[in-house]
């Protein structure tokens, strides 16, 4: 399932299971949820938490995706990020890389100075500002606490992937996703391939048995540096350790989860979707070969992981961020009777998708908002949490040099990358992981 991106980002499966796992599924309506909406007529008020480039893109995707959606509140750790975001969304004409057309909805921006919030507590103020839907687009470390607060407050949520950086965070996301189900609240996730018909139609056929028993697969996100997309800011004299790390969050494991988690989660999500479950084991390796300067924090620049699934199938995962190398962004599912990839199947029951191609970055919001208005809330929380944990499992194995069982990591690992305190002060950078020496926690 190969797609060249411009940015960033064997169990038998019944059709019913597929419908629950894809963009076509809707969670059952619970009790105690948010405000009820007439079909398409009531305005949905959106608050954005995290006003960086992806947040600005996601909020525009959301407004582009459905009628009667307004942006009413913004929150970020830093005021300059809010200022840049507000200037961008209040001006028509710019085209974000994830959008189908130039921005033309400045009139839908109803943000006021009173609904712009800064600091580590800004998320609480956005959630309590009268919004119906919250977009969570901060660095991934903060996702579990922001999701928990939003669901407890009765808000629908769209959250960018990944949704945590450690097993403790994943457990929190799973608990919040279950609470959302009970309360009848929607959770959409930024795993847009699940809303792309090229993927949906192929995975449907995989689940219908058209390539036979799933026996193996490969997935790749090997590409150049994220620095070329602006993921780096030179430290300024007035910046503390915490501010420097938060502004350059991609390069610190506690904030991004490392690139296998932040970026490669897309490909691993497709594998889990196709397999209908998560892996039971991971054995990985990786390192920091090129991006070695201190300003690039403590993340690796390459990983290779073998995942084992419950039916014995083995999946090879490769993730690399090194410039000047062969690039590949793809997923490939091998069955006993054929091979599945993005938009096509090779084998006895060959298939090639030739239908409509909506923008998946907008379609994921269309599907989410439709589910809210229909009273049948979509809930992608568990699926994206398991895909994020799949990536974390691979990183844990690579960092420690140890094969890693899913059940141990999910149930017993105490790994929690939370800093001692949330304040713009001193924060030493954690050591770069060394396989065979970095402890298993």
Same domain, 176 and 205: no
pLDDT on residue 38: 52
pLDDT on residue 94: 95
User: Is 41 part of any domain?
Assistant: yes
User: Is 179 part of any domain?
Assistant: yes
Same domain, 41 and 180: yes
Same domain, 39 and 173: yes
Phi, psi of 70, deg, nearest 5: -125, 145
Q: Is the pLDDT of residue 21 over 50?
A: no
Same domain, 124 and 200: no
The DSSP result for 219-244, as a single string, is EEEEE--GGGGT---PPPTT--HHHH
**Most confident segment among 39-43, 320-324, 415-419:** 415-419
pLDDT digits (tens, 9 = 90+) for 418-440: 999 999 999 999 999 999 999 99
Tell me which residue has tokens 């409509």: 356
**Chain-wide mean pLDDT for the chain?**
92
47 is in which domain, residue-wise?
25-193+364-379
pLDDT on residue 293: 93
pLDDT on residue 314: 99
Same domain, 115 and 213: no
Same domain, 189 and 46: yes
User: Is 280 part of any domain?
Assistant: yes
User: Is 219 part of any domain?
Assistant: yes
Mean pLDDT of 107-130: 99
CATH number at residue 144: 3.40.50.720
Count of domains for the chain: 2
Hey, which residues does 334 pair with through a beta bridge? Answer: 216, 339
The DSSP result for 138-175, as a single string, is S-GGGHHHHHHHHHHTT-EEEEPSP--SSHHHHHHHHH
pLDDT on residue 437: 98
Sheet holding 69-76, edge to edge: 116-118, 69-76, 44-49, 133-136, 156-159, 187-189
Same domain, 283 and 161: no
Same domain, 217 and 78: no
Alpha-carbon span 224 to 327, nearest angstrom: 8
Same domain, 239 and 166: no
Element (H, E) at 267: helix 265-275
pLDDT digits (tens, 9 = 90+) for 219-278: 999 998 776 555 688 899 999 999 999 999 999 999 999 999 999 999 999 999 999 999
Same domain, 283 and 330: yes
- Measured between its terminal Cα atoms, the distance across the chain in Å is 35
User: Is 231 part of any domain?
Assistant: yes
Phi, psi of 353, deg, nearest 5: -70, 135
pLDDT on residue 20: 40
Same domain, 373 and 394: no
| DSSP 8-state symbol, 294 | G
User: Is 9 part of any domain?
Assistant: no
Residues above pLDDT 70, as percent of the chain? 89
35 SS3 class: coil
Same domain, 172 and 242: no
pLDDT on residue 229: 56
Q: What is the CA radius of gyration of the chain?
A: 21
User: Is 269 part of any domain?
Assistant: yes
Least confident of 23-32, 202-211, 305-314, 330-339: 23-32
CATH number at residue 348: 3.30.360.10
**Rounded to 5°, angle at Cα 218 from 213 and 223:** 160
Structural tokens at position 16: 């019913």
pLDDT on residue 41: 54
User: Is 218 part of any domain?
Assistant: yes
pLDDT digits (tens, 9 = 90+) for 131-166: 999 999 999 999 999 999 999 999 999 999 999 999
The DSSP result for 93-134, as a single string, is T---TT-SS----GGGB---GGGEEESTTHHHHHHTTT-SEE
């Amino acid at each position: 399932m190969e797609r060249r991106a411009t940015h960033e980002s064997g169990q038998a499966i019944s059709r019913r299971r597929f419908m629950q796992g894809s963009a076509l599924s809707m969670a059952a309506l619970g009790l105690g949820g948010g405000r009820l909406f007439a079909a398409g007529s009531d305005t949905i008020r959106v608050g954005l938490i995290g006003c960086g480039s992806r947040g600005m893109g996601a909020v525009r995707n959301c407004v582009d995706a459905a009628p009667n959606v307004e942006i009413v509140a913004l929150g970020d750790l830093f005021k300059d990020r809010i200022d840049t975001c507000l200037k961008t969304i209040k001006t028509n004409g710019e085209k974000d890389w994830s959008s189908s057309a130039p921005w033309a909805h400045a009139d839908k921006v109803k943000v006021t100075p009173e609904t712009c919030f800064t600091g580590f507590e800004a998320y609480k103020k956005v959630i309590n500002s009268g919004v119906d839907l919250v977009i969570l687009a901060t660095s991934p470390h903060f996702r579990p606490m922001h999701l928990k607060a939003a669901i407890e407050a009765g808000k629908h949520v769209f959250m960018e992937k990944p949704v945590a950086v450690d097993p403790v965070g994943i457990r929190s996301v799973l608990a919040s996703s279950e609470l959302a189900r009970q309360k009848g609240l929607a959770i959409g996730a930024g795993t847009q391939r699940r809303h792309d018909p090229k993927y949906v139609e192929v995975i449907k056929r995989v689940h219908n048995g058209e390539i036979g028993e799933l026996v193996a697969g490969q997935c790749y996100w090997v590409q150049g540096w994220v620095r070329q997309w602006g993921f780096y800011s030179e430290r300024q004299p007035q910046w503390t350790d915490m501010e420097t790390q938060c502004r350059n969050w991609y390069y610190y494991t506690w904030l991004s989860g490392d690139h296998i988690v932040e970026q490669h989660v897309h490909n691993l999500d497709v594998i889990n979707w196709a397999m209908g479950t998560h892996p039971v084991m991971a054995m990985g390796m990786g390192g920091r070969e090129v991006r070695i300067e201190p300003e690039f924090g403590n993340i690796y620049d390459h990983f290779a992981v073998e995942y084992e699934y419950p039916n014995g199938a083995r999946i090879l995962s490769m993730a690399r961020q090194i410039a000047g190398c062969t690039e590949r962004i793809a997923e490939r599912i091998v069955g006993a009777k054929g091979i599945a990839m993005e938009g096509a199947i090779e084998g006895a029951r060959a298939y090639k998708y030739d239908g409509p191609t909506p923008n998946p970055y907008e379609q994921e919001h269309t599907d989410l908002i439709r589910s809210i208005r229909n009273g049948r809330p979509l809930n992608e929380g568990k699926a994206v949490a398991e895909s994020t944990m799949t990536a974390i499992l691979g990183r844990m194995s690579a960092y420690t040099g140890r094969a890693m069982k899913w059940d141990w990591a999910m149930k017993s690992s105490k790994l929690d990358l939370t800093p001692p305190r949330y304040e713009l002060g001193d924060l030493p950078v954690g050591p770069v992981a060394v396989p065979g020496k970095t402890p298993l926690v």
